[in-house]
Amino acid sequence: MLNLPNQLKLRKFTKKDITKEYLRILNNKKLLEFSDQRHTRHTYQSCLKYLKSFEKNENLFLKLVFNRELIGTCTIYIDKNNQNANIGFLIGNQNKHNKGYATIILKYLIKYLFQIKKLNKISCGTIDKNYPMIKVCKKNKMSLEAILKKEKKIKKKFYNVVIYSIFNKKK
């Protein structure tokens, strides 16, 4: 799909990517502490069902590859009627955290979604404690659009969800 700098690539996630290592990542409660995925016990079958949910629609489920190694995933939920998209990331390989990969990928995705898909708005949401994701959004010139107060409960505490967005200047 997109060839990125620094040996990074974005490709369509396929059933061959549902490996034991991928399942280990998805079932890592610490890694997914800010994700609703932490509530689910992931299996090959549940992952296959999720992958199939991306068939026959505009949404994208992508793998993030660095030097031929799967380091994470990206989901893009596209609302073609309203010309917007919501993007989510999971950098599953903890050795690849804080390397700037999500920042680079988001930059290229914004360009692709605005120029090729002709969208008007792109958003990313996370809890207000997920500072790395907030930093990724800000580095990509996304602005805080909304705060959903006490939206997510994590370890007996409620957190706000922050929504960062960017608009297509050519629309």
**Mean model confidence pLDDT for the chain:** 93
Q: What is the pLDDT of residue 2?
A: 59
Tens-place pLDDT, residues 6-61: 688 999 999 999 999 999 999 998 899 888 888 899 999 999 999 999 999 999 99
Q: What is the pLDDT of residue 3?
A: 58
Tens-place pLDDT, residues 115-170: 999 999 999 999 999 999 999 999 999 999 999 999 999 999 999 999 999 999 98
69 beta partners: 66
Cβ atoms < 10 Å from Cβ of 44: 13
Are the beta carbons of 6 and 76 closer than 8 angstroms? no
Give the type of residue at 98: N
What are the two backbone dihedrals, phi and then psi, of residue 168, each rounded to the nearest 5 degrees?
-75, 115
Q: What is the pLDDT of residue 168?
A: 97
Select the CATH number that applies to the domain covering 2-124 from these four: 3.30.565.10, 3.20.20.70, 3.40.630.30, 3.40.47.10. Answer: 3.40.630.30
Tens-place pLDDT, residues 49-58: 999 999 999 9
Residue 113 has pLDDT above 80, yes or no: yes
Confidence tier at 1 by pLDDT (50, 70, 90): low
Domain ranges of the chain: 2-124
In degrees, rounded to 5, the angle at the alpha carbon of residue 137 between the alpha carbons of residues 88 and 113 is 60
Reported pTM: 0.92
